[in-house]
A = this chain, B = another copy of it.
């Protein structure tokens, strides 16, 4: 098993990402192919006393797709970028999976151009696994691949999210809901209203609408479906809510000696908090619906988050997730819905 890691163009320095790749290689049987500036990667490997070889190798590239680059143009014009060359290596089966914490739009556009879509899939969707207080994650799809959706795209998201939840999270017959502004039928905008009707008519276990305020505390369903724009806003808002509380605690604890003592006693609780709700533990969202294993990592990934993202790619490749999605789509289309 060999996974390519794009170390350029994220908000984190290449060194942090490379460390994550090295840790993943040490922890499991996976080989890592680093795509990026060869001098930078060599310098980091030397600094952390690692050897180049089959276990840790380099795909040299000279261009970088930045976060500010318009996706389609970047993919067309930066042919010698880690992003484009990395996806070509995946297409040509030199690697089993591709991980990037770079420009999400460019990864999506590049994946569609280079790998193509899976049969029956109209639009790809990014499936994020969010931690919940129950211990079991909740899958949200799409969190940013397709920001302008038709109602029919939601069916594909739901199907892919369900297959992913079953194959990789071990959830049989996952319960699926539509993210909306109210639970009652009829809530939502026009797009959601029509998506609701289509999901209801599908063979999926559709539970109706769900609101965002209790997904992490009550985990009412297994898979939440939404368009990529709304899903991305949802994801970042949750992150914002969590960091508002943790930042506030940190600032106020540091301002008081008494609170500092209290915080020391509460250390095990804060550890649970960090382990449960940090994105590092849950980094790595697969881009589902393209013909290859592509995992998008958080743009501000640290080494730990990269390790998790590589693990997500390894699991998707091992489970042959794309084959399972293709089969499910065939089955659904054959049943005529």
Contact = CB atoms under 8 A, between A and B. Distances in A.
Interface residues of A, number: 70
A248 B272 contact: yes
A147 interface: yes
A214 B247 CA distance: 11
Interface of A: 67-68, 70, 104-105, 132-133, 144, 147-148, 179-182, 184, 186-190, 192, 211-217, 226-230, 232-249, 251-253, 256, 258-259, 261-269, 272-273, 276-277
Contact of A133 (B68, B132, B247): B247
A233 B226 CA distance: 11
A256 B237 contact: no
Given A234-B234, A244-B241, A147 B269 contact: no
Contacts of A246: 245
Nearest to A264: B262
Contacts of A179: 233
A237 B143 CA distance: 13
Given A212-B240, A266-B262, A186 B272 contact: no
B147 A188 contact: yes
A264 to B, nearest CB: 7
A147 B181 contact: yes
Contacts of A104: 182
A213 B240 contact: yes
A244 B269 contact: no
Nearest to A68: B184
A258 B248 contact: no
